[in-house]
Amino acid sequence: MHPPPSAAGVAMDFGQNSLFGYMEDLQELTIIERPVRRSLKTPEEIERLTVDEDLSDIDRAVYLLSAGQDIQGTSVIANLPFLMRQNPTETLRRVLPKVREVLHVASVEMQLTAAVSFLTILQEESMSVHTYAHSFLQVILLHLEHRDTGVSNAWLETLLSAIELLPKETLRHEILNPLVSKAQLSQTVQSRLVSCKILGKLTNKFDAHSIKREILPLVKSLCQDVEYEVRSCMCRQLENIAQGIGTELTKSVVLPELIELSGDESGSVRLAAFETLVNMLDMFDTDDRSQTILPLVKSFCEKSFKADESILISLSFHLGKLCHGLYGIFTPDQHLRFLEFYKKLCTLGLQQENGHNENQIPSQIAEQEKKYTSVRKNCAYNFPAMIVFVDPKNFHMELYSTFFCLCHDPEVPVRYTIAICFYEVSKLLNSGVYLIHKELLTLLQDESLEVLDALINHLPEILELMSIGGESSVQENKLSSLPDLIPALTAAEQRAAASLKWRTHEKLLQKYACLPHIISSDQIYYRFLQRMFTIMMTNNVLPVQRAAARTLCIFLRYNRKQEQRHEVIQKLIEQLGQGKSYWNRLRFLDTCEFIIEIFSKSFFCKYFFLPVIELTHDPVANVRMKLCYLLPKVKSALKIPADMHLLQQLEMCVRKLLCQEKDKDVLAIVKKTVLELDRMEMSMDVFQKKNYEKDLLDQEKEREELMFLEMEQLEKEKHQNDGRSSDKSFEKKRRDSRTPMQSLPKNIPISVPGPSSTAPSTSKEIKKSKLIRSQSFNNQAFHAKYGNLDKCASKSSTLAHTPSVSGLMRTAMLSLTDDSFRTRNTSNVPASFPPNPVLPSTSRGTSNTADPKSSGSKDAQPRKATLKSRKSNP
């Protein structure tokens, strides 16, 4: 802050210096106002720009083209497609002749607008092709040689698009025949350049015989033109011409021209010949490649370092396609030379021998460095192709050092490109993917967020390949990289969070949802889960918060420890659902929406139904409004008749909102929500045909959640009884060997139709059955590819083919669960989610846990009081 002015400084100084200062300030203000004054229109100008409102669109267009100003004529031409759709006959009869007159003296802007409008009319097909050729084609051909290059190119693009649709006879008479004279040396360079591009387009419209008789003579003439621009332009059209005339004529006519142009005195012509040869490799047989093309390519590569850097840029870009096209005809020596040439390009500008000349000025040095960077960037782009060239088995010996240099390149564009290619490299290496673990960590910790953003596009697939790829001999080598991977991932997230690029941060958080398939749940719990909470509660960007909430729900879904799950659920309810900030309560509702999507219905109803319903009494209108939007999904999570008491609580809360809501916006949404809730059909405990796939998917989710609990329990028992397991196993095998096979099914409790055996099964047999099922499920669940949750429909359709088997499996597992947990002290809650005395829960099928007739506000207070008392007395 500036200090306050003193008393002496407050009084105005009318001295000579201050007066001059005031006059200068006034002059500056006058200068600022002048452009505003000049931009105003005089009454005469306004009169000239005024048009009678009673005129029709056609009459107004004719008037403006005849007597209007240039900007008005441009507006009419831009509106020409609309006039053609509205009244094509009058537009062609009255407006188009005026357009032709105006275009003779039109400005550049009007010419460009006319080219675009003519192309739009052609693409919209508002008239027949013959009418278009008769009315518009001559106008297009007339302005192809406009003195302005931009205008000429615009009309040329319109003509090339028209050639695709015009009939063959029209093309022959209106375009090809005049082209013979336009391609002569006596014409301007611009005319001959236009002829080259038109010839390349016409070859797709005529047969090989017509091309040989009428087009190829012009092509040969233009390839021998005295101007290098014309030769280069015609050379780039030879690929299109070769596709039109076939393989035989290409070998006899086009290939000799390419060979001659590859030795041209102009570097741009040689470059055009090289790129055309690379693009046409598939059209030549093995003999042509080995005897003709390979020597040309070899000579071109040897001379490239002595030529301009622009040739190196093109060569480095096409090198991958070149090696792929010539693969199989290289001798071992040639193979090694091309590989060494590629390695040299990858380090161009980085080595000491490629240093700058002392006579170069700084601007030249900067330009040269920019070209060298482009060369190395192209080499990074072609790296997957070079892996195929050397064989992935030889990657470590031949290309690993080059890959290391590209990942540590000082320029961001190079590292960005290699980060994009990282997934392709990982797929090609397959079992050898462990070799590039360190480079993955390097790119994750890159100082540029652009590099990180490019890498995380395929981060789940890369991590999956690294977690499962490789042979057993290198298993230790693979697993040893995981401790280094976790700090790299956390550092990448923190660096993205500290930047202003929130989209990169959001994308990274979304990709972290793959981590349950890569690392253990304990590592996720201690290194990532709390960070997701922090982002949800402190970050200011809503998409980032929602991404963190969804990823947290997936972490919770695959957590293997019941205690940790309950702690996370308690934090969600207390810190978000019952948080002081309304923003946190809004994020709680977002989280509940993800929980409904990811978890089973029973999980949501057990832990989150009551905390969600309590928010109907929230003092903030925005929270109540968001809750109203969520209520249909909440109702869809209920099953009848097991959740009838929860449905009654939901209906009671909605009635209270209708009766007591004072905010008019919330009340309007409540009324819409009530109508939607009334139209919804409730899910039943038994499968229905309408919701069969959804019910199967929910059953599968519930089965997986049950399996996670069983696996945890079995792992604990396994650790406790590890010392005695071998003896018991031996005794059990000996006892089973004496037991007849017919008596085995009687000891397994499975709910099937008909009479069932009452003989109880032993706990050891149940544990063994659980262990086998949990191990098989563990192999399926944690090696599944990320994205299983997003492919629910396909999963449901697969399950739909075996409904009876799925039902029997579910019944059998629930029976096993009831027996296995019978010895523990449990309340009347589902076996899939054991009770937690700290968490508020809503059990299915129990009427004593919540009064169906009581309101949501009455239930809320005892729950909160219980929570506080249990927290204070653990």
DSSP per-residue codes, 559-575:
---HHHHHHHHHHIIII
Q: Report, as an integer, the average pLDDT of 576-599.
A: 94
Query: Cβ distance 121 to 132 under 8 Å?
Result: yes
Q: Is the pLDDT of residue 471 over 50?
A: no
Average pLDDT, whole number, for the chain? 78
Q: Report, as an integer, the average pLDDT of 839-848.
A: 47
User: How many angstroms separate the CA atoms of 262 and 277, rounded?
Assistant: 9
Task: Check residue 840 and give its pLDDT.
Answer: 53
Q: Report, as an integer, the average pLDDT of 219-223.
A: 92
Q: Is the pLDDT of residue 166 over 50?
A: yes
Q: Report, as an integer, the average pLDDT of 395-401.
A: 94
pLDDT in tens, 478-518: 444 567 899 999 999 999 999 989 999 999 999 999 999 98
User: How many angstroms separate the CA atoms of 609 and 665, rounded?
Assistant: 24
pLDDT in tens, 524-583: 999 999 999 999 999 999 999 999 999 999 999 999 888 999 999 999 999 999 999 999
H/E run at residue 585: helix 582-598
pLDDT in tens, 98-136: 999 989 888 899 999 999 999 999 888 888 888 888 899
Q: Report, as an integer, the average pLDDT of 188-217.
A: 89
Confidence class for position 826, pLDDT limits 50, 70, 90: very low
Task: Check residue 790 and give its pLDDT.
Answer: 43
**Weakest-pLDDT range from 340-349, 568-577, 768-777, 808-817:** 808-817
Phi-psi region of 470 (alpha: psi -120 to 50; beta: other; left: phi over 0): left
User: How many angstroms separate the CA atoms of 845 and 830, rounded?
Assistant: 9
Angle at 869 (CA atoms; ends 864, 874), nearest 5 degrees:
125
User: How many angstroms separate the CA atoms of 166 and 141, rounded?
Assistant: 14
User: How many angstroms separate the CA atoms of 565 and 712, rounded?
Assistant: 12
832 closest CA partner among 681, 713, 684, 660:
713
Q: Is the pLDDT of residue 279 over 50?
A: yes
Confidence class for position 195, pLDDT limits 50, 70, 90: very high
Task: Check residue 722 and give its pLDDT.
Answer: 66
User: How many angstroms separate the CA atoms of 572 and 578, rounded?
Assistant: 9
Confidence class for position 690, pLDDT limits 50, 70, 90: low
Confidence class for position 686, pLDDT limits 50, 70, 90: low
**DSSP letter for each residue of 820-868:** HTTTS---SS-TTS---TTS----TT-SSSS-TTS-HHHHHHHHHHHHH
pLDDT in tens, 64-74: 888 778 888 89
pLDDT in tens, 25-61: 545 555 444 444 455 667 766 666 676 777 788 888 8
Task: Check residue 784 and give its pLDDT.
Answer: 41
Query: Cβ distance 585 to 551 under 8 Å?
Result: no
- Judged by DSSP in three states, 183 sits in coil
Q: Is the pLDDT of residue 22 over 70?
A: no
Confidence class for position 283, pLDDT limits 50, 70, 90: confident
Task: Check residue 53 and give its pLDDT.
Answer: 75
Taking the alpha carbons at both ends of the chain, their separation in whole angstroms is 54
Alpha helix stretches (DSSP H) within 164-266: 168-171, 177-182, 189-202, 208-210, 216-223, 228-236, 238-245, 247-249, 255-262
**DSSP letter for each residue of 192-218:** HHHHHHHHHHHTTTS-HHHIIIIIHHH
Q: Is the pLDDT of residue 866 over 50?
A: no
Task: Check residue 841 and give its pLDDT.
Answer: 53
Angle between helices 542-557 and 562-571 (to 10 degrees): 150
Confidence class for position 685, pLDDT limits 50, 70, 90: low
- 352 DSSP assignment: G
Q: Is the pLDDT of residue 740 over 50?
A: no
Query: Cβ distance 561 to 608 under 8 Å?
Result: no
Query: Cβ distance 617 to 660 under 8 Å?
Result: no
Of residues 732 and 711, more confidently modeled: 711
Highest mean pLDDT among 145-149, 472-476, 626-630: 626-630
- Judged by DSSP in three states, 640 sits in strand
28 Cβ contact list (under 8 Å, min separation 6): none
Query: Cβ distance 695 to 683 under 8 Å?
Result: yes
Task: Check residue 755 and give its pLDDT.
Answer: 38
Q: Which two tokens stand for residue 308?
A: 């301009």
| Tokens 């002081």, residue located | 580
Confidence class for position 164, pLDDT limits 50, 70, 90: confident
Task: Check residue 356 and give its pLDDT.
Answer: 54
| Tokens 């002595």, residue located | 306
Query: Cβ distance 783 to 468 under 8 Å?
Result: yes
Q: Length of the chain in residues, anyone? A: 874
Q: Is the pLDDT of residue 96 over 60?
A: yes
User: How many angstroms separate the CA atoms of 557 and 565, rounded?
Assistant: 9
In single-letter form, the type of residue at position 627 comes to L
Q: Is the pLDDT of residue 843 over 80?
A: no
Task: Check residue 440 and give its pLDDT.
Answer: 94
User: How many angstroms separate the CA atoms of 852 and 854, rounded?
Assistant: 6
Task: Check residue 325 and give its pLDDT.
Answer: 87
466 closest CA partner among 510, 506, 517:
517
Confidence class for position 297, pLDDT limits 50, 70, 90: confident
- Judged by DSSP in three states, 401 sits in helix
- Judged by DSSP in three states, 639 sits in strand
Q: Is the pLDDT of residue 299 over 50?
A: yes
Of residues 108 and 717, more confidently modeled: 108
Q: Report, as an integer, the average pLDDT of 206-212.
A: 85
Give the count of beta carbons closer than 10 Å to the beta carbon of residue 523: 16
For residues 654-691, b (16+ Cβ closer than 10 Å) or e, as one string?
beebeeebeeeebbebbeebbeebeeeeebeeebeeeb
Long-range contacts of 353-356 (CB under 8 A, 24+ apart): none
Q: Is the pLDDT of residue 751 over 70?
A: no
Q: Which two tokens stand for residue 336?
A: 């090694």
| Tokens 């007849």, residue located | 740
Instruction: Please classify residue 294 by burial: count the beta carbons closer than 10 Å to its beta carbon, then call 0-12 exposed, 13-18 middle and 19+ buried.
Output: middle
Query: Cβ distance 829 to 706 under 8 Å?
Result: no
Percent of the chain with pLDDT over 70: 73
Task: Check residue 679 and give its pLDDT.
Answer: 87
Task: Check residue 757 and give its pLDDT.
Answer: 38
Task: Check residue 510 and give its pLDDT.
Answer: 96
Q: Which two tokens stand for residue 715?
A: 């792992």
Query: Cβ distance 608 to 627 under 8 Å?
Result: no
Q: Which two tokens stand for residue 773?
A: 């099922």
Q: Report, as an integer, the average pLDDT of 805-814.
A: 37
Task: Check residue 389 and give its pLDDT.
Answer: 93
- 684 DSSP assignment: E
Task: Check residue 385 and give its pLDDT.
Answer: 94
Distances (CA, A) of 76 to 83, 113, 131, 530: 9, 10, 21, 62
- Judged by DSSP in three states, 644 sits in helix
Q: Is the pLDDT of residue 782 over 50?
A: no
Task: Check residue 796 and give its pLDDT.
Answer: 38
Q: Is the pLDDT of residue 811 over 60?
A: no
Question: Measured in whole angstroms, how far is the alpha carbon of residue 220 from the centre of its chain?
Answer: 47
**DSSP letter for each residue of 703-741:** HHHHHHHHHHHHHHHHHHTTTTHHHHHHHHHHHHHTS-G
- 683 DSSP assignment: E
Q: Report, as an integer, the average pLDDT of 263-291.
A: 88
- 325 DSSP assignment: H
Instruction: Please classify residue 324 by burial: count the beta carbons closer than 10 Å to its beta carbon, then call 0-12 exposed, 13-18 middle and 19+ buried.
Output: middle
Task: Check residue 358 and give its pLDDT.
Answer: 57
Q: Is the pLDDT of residue 858 over 90?
A: no
Angle at 69 (CA atoms; ends 65, 70), nearest 5 degrees:
80
Q: Report, as an integer, the average pLDDT of 346-351.
A: 87
- 129 DSSP assignment: H
Distances (CA, A) of 699 to 80, 553, 695, 743, 802: 61, 19, 6, 31, 13
